[in-house]
Structure formats: C-alpha cells, structure tokens
Amino acid sequence: MKTFDDLKAKYPRLLRTGFIIECHEGWVGILDDYFAVIGREMPDGAVYEIRQIKEKLGSLRIYDSSYNETLSSVRAVTDAHALAEARSYYTCEYCGKPGVWSNRRGYLTTVCEDHAVRDGYRAEPYVDSDYTYRETDGTWRRYDPDLDAFIEVEAPDWSR
C-alpha cells in the first residue's frame, strides 16, 4: 500500500468519496493497519465515522466517532488508535521509513534523514522524544518502536 488512493480503494466503507487526508503518504502503512482493526473489530450494526485525519504537531491525528459497538470493539479500536499515533512519532511522514520527531524552526515534524531538510532548513531531532503518556487509571506507558508495543514505565520527570 503506497498511496491514499490505494487506501481509499481498500476501505471504501470507512473513507467516503472525496475524503481528504491531511498528511503525507508516508503514514499510509500506519493507517492501513489501523483500518484493518476497525474493519475486523466493529460489529455489524455499529456505526464508525472518520471526521478528520491529519498531521498535527509532528504526529498523526485521527478524529473519529462510533456508536452501537461492543465493549471489546471499543477497547480494540482505542488501542489501535493509540498505536497508530505512537507509530507516527517514529515513521517519516513523507516516505514511511524510520523517522525521528523533530523541530524545523518551530514546525514539529517526523522525518527520516532524507527528508530532514526542506525549504533550506534542517529539522533537528528532539533529544527526549519518547512517546509517553498516562492512562486514565494513572499508569504511565511508553511506546517501544523495537517491540511495536506499549510498555509500562515510571512517571517521567516532567510529570512531577
């Protein structure tokens, strides 16, 4: 899968005609994995709607809603959503190769070395760019790109 057109052809039920994806095609693989979970987990009769897909602050954002789903499908979709966003911090938005969350003159972006320079300016990687967040139960998790999974961690210093 290489283009948004390929993605739209594969998931016509999820991506309506004319839907605009507001990021570059390097994240098509991440979105393909996400939509595969949606297609597999959403039960018949459930409604799933994508409102917007875009790059924001250097990572992928998926704004969606659903109803009439089962608790297990809600959990699966929530986990897939978190995983898609986390993967985008480590995947070049332009080509899909491994990337680094970076700052190019105040513009946050995730790029590989080949796409680090744009318009004459180089994106400089953030030193501490681990994707770490707190669950609603207070547990801290960090995405490990080598495992392609979240691991439980201590609260980061910046949270104290």
DSSP 97-121: SB-EEEEETTEEEEE-GGGSEETTE
| Dist CA 93 CA 28 (whole Å) | 9
Adjacent-strand bridge partners of 132:
142
Tell me what percent of the residues of the chain surpass a pLDDT of 70. Answer: 98
Q: Can you give the pLDDT at residue 95? A: 96
The average pLDDT across 12-31 equals: 94
Q: Are 85 and 61 in contact (CB under 8 A)?
A: yes
Amino acid residing at 44 = D
| Dist CA 97 CA 106 (whole Å) | 23
User: Cα 58–64–70 angle (5° rounding)?
Assistant: 130
Instruction: Tell me 83's DSSP state.
Output: H
The average pLDDT across 32-48 equals: 93
Q: Can you give the pLDDT at residue 159? A: 83
| Dist CA 79 CA 74 (whole Å) | 9
Over 70: is that where the pLDDT of 129 sits?
Answer: no
The average pLDDT across 109-136 equals: 90
Q: Can you give the pLDDT at residue 1? A: 57
Positive or negative CA dihedral for 52, 8, 99, 109? negative
Per-chain mean pLDDT for the chain:
92
Per-residue pLDDT reduced to its tens digit, 49-99? 999 999 999 999 999 999 888 888 999 999 999 999 999 999 999 999 999
